[in-house]
Amino acid sequence: MHQGTNGRRAGIIPRACIVLAAALMLLPAHRLAGEPGMKDEPGVPSRFIDARNRAVAWLEGQMVPGKVLARPQPGREGMIMSFGVAEGHALYGKSSLYDNALAIIALDMAGRTDQATRIAAAVCAQMDTSPEPWFFYNLHNAWPEPGSPEAVSRTGASAWLGCALVFHCQVLLLEDCSSEGARYAYFARYAKSLAQAIMKRQVRDAEDRRYGLVPGGLNSIVLSWDPLTKSPLETFKRMEIDWVSTEHSIDTWFFLNALAVMTGKDRYRRDAALVRAGIMKRLWNEGLRQFSTGMTRWETDTAESLDCASWGSIFLQATGEREKALAALKTCGNDLNRHGDVLGYRPYNNAMIYDTPVLNDKMFPGDPEKRWNSLPFVWPEGSLGVALAAIRNNQVEQWTEILDNIIKMQLPDGGIPYASEEVPNLFTKRTAVASAAWLVIAVNALANPELDALFWR
């Protein structure tokens, strides 16, 4: 799911370095080391609190500069390395926009407001060289540079950053009780800029099947089989994405809705309402009892994606569709799977693992139709998304069961693998920011209801 590519070293210090330095001046000097965690609600099992705290420590260790990368690319100091890998690994230095957004939210939830500010400031600095941030950045070199011909942007990742910036502003309000603070104003400005960039893509033609929804972004990485290396080959393709992803649409609604609440501006409320109407009218699949994966101008993809059920359930609960929210949560059970002693969820039910039979056959010789439901596989990030959906639907026992299983996968250093099984070019067994951050979010759904009330509502 994560996509990346190698880059080039820059010979000059980018403008982002200057902007970042100015932004970090907003941090009070006595708080640069971070704040202690906020007080937890009584009654939350201590094993979950301990697992969350170790995940927070692991996340802090992934920030650069640090032990994982001592000398990051100038202007990208403060961003977070997505995977727990050493130099020389293909994923070394990779930093996804989505992971930075998750880390901001998780660290804010853990009371590490200043670390969250450092990540947010570093990512916002990248936006000064492009109207919308890229999907991936290298932290060990300058890729992608401004105008890079081989970079990808994704609406969902940008919307997640928007959610993170609005959430960060709300946390700052809890600290400062004022919307006039310098940090609040700085991040609110970038959140509004992101909303503007995303909504430029919104389909406004009422005759278009995608009316009200927002297509996926810019450029793509196409996966095929390379007969020379006898391995999967990632090929960059320059294009405007006309595909509308349900996940991206849900992300966008949560962002615009939160921004409307924060600013009181009707334009964000109207945009959010149009996205919501498009999701409900065009993407809800009554036969599946969950949302379809997405759609183009001509057809709808009815693959049973876990996130379209779990995140869909959270969206439905937030928009008052409680019966559908419970139905979508129940549908998540189609993806329940066991790998070893861990019971969790896989990303899809009956979809092929790779998109084409040719590639599937190469990766699983003799089984060109190999499907996810035949693979022992647990996806912690997706499983923890189900946990959040469970608690939003008052299913505490389900939340507890998921957490009890996922913390079995937590390593001594606090990191959690991205997946229980390696699936080349799709999933890695290496520890991942997404897994650790989602553990924090899922635990805090009960441990810190004050902050949970500000997230994805």
Angstrom distances, CA of residue 453 to CA of 68, 167, 277, 456: 33, 10, 23, 8
Report whether 344 contacts 421 (CB < 8 A).
no
Q: CA-CA distance, 78 to 125, in Å (whole number)? A: 11
Q: How confident is the model at residue 8, as a pLDDT?
A: 27
Q: CA-CA distance, 1 to 227, in Å (whole number)? A: 22
Q: How confident is the model at residue 117, as a pLDDT?
A: 96
Q: Which residue ranges form the domains of the chain, and what is each CATH number?
A: 17-35+45-452 (1.50.10.20)
Question: What stretch of H or E contains 338?
Answer: strand 336-339
Q: CA-CA distance, 300 to 283, in Å (whole number)? A: 8
Q: How confident is the model at residue 434, as a pLDDT?
A: 98
The DSSP line for 92-132 is TTEEEHHHHHHHHHHHHHTT-HHHHHHHHHHHHHHGGGSSS
Nearest-CA neighbor of 195 among 113, 137, 150, 251?
251
Q: How confident is the model at residue 182, as a pLDDT?
A: 86
Q: What are the backbone dihedrals phi and psi of residue 278, each rounded to the nearest 5 degrees, phi first?
A: -65, -40
457 residues of the chain, pLDDT tens digit each: 433 333 322 333 344 444 444 444 455 433 333 343 467 888 899 999 999 999 999 999 999 999 989 999 999 999 999 999 999 999 999 999 999 999 999 999 999 999 999 999 999 999 988 778 999 999 999 999 877 777 899 999 999 999 999 999 999 998 876 666 888 999 999 999 999 999 999 999 999 999 999 999 999 999 999 999 999 999 999 999 999 999 999 999 999 999 999 999 999 999 999 999 999 999 999 999 999 999 999 999 999 999 999 999 999 999 999 999 999 999 999 999 999 999 999 999 989 999 888 899 999 998 999 999 999 999 999 999 999 999 999 999 999 999 999 999 999 999 999 999 999 999 999 999 999 999 999 999 999 999 999 999 9
Q: CA-CA distance, 228 to 80, in Å (whole number)? A: 35
Q: How confident is the model at residue 13, as a pLDDT?
A: 34
129 HSE (CA, 13 A, CB side): 22
DSSP state at residue 163: H
Q: CA-CA distance, 266 to 195, in Å (whole number)? A: 13
DSSP state at residue 404: H
- For residue 139, which amino acid is it? L
pTM metric for this prediction: 0.92
Q: What are the backbone dihedrals phi and psi of residue 269, each rounded to the nearest 5 degrees, phi first?
A: -65, -40
217-226 and 153-154 beta bridge pairing: antiparallel
Helix H segments across 350-448? 357-363, 380-392, 396-406, 433-447
Q: How confident is the model at residue 130, as a pLDDT?
A: 77
Which pair of structure tokens corresponds to residue 132?
Answer: 């919308």
Question: What stretch of H or E contains 310?
Answer: helix 306-318
Report whether 359 contacts 224 (CB < 8 A).
yes
Which pair of structure tokens corresponds to residue 407?
Answer: 């913390």
Neighbouring residues of 274: CB distance < 8 A, sequence distance ≥ 6: 202, 212
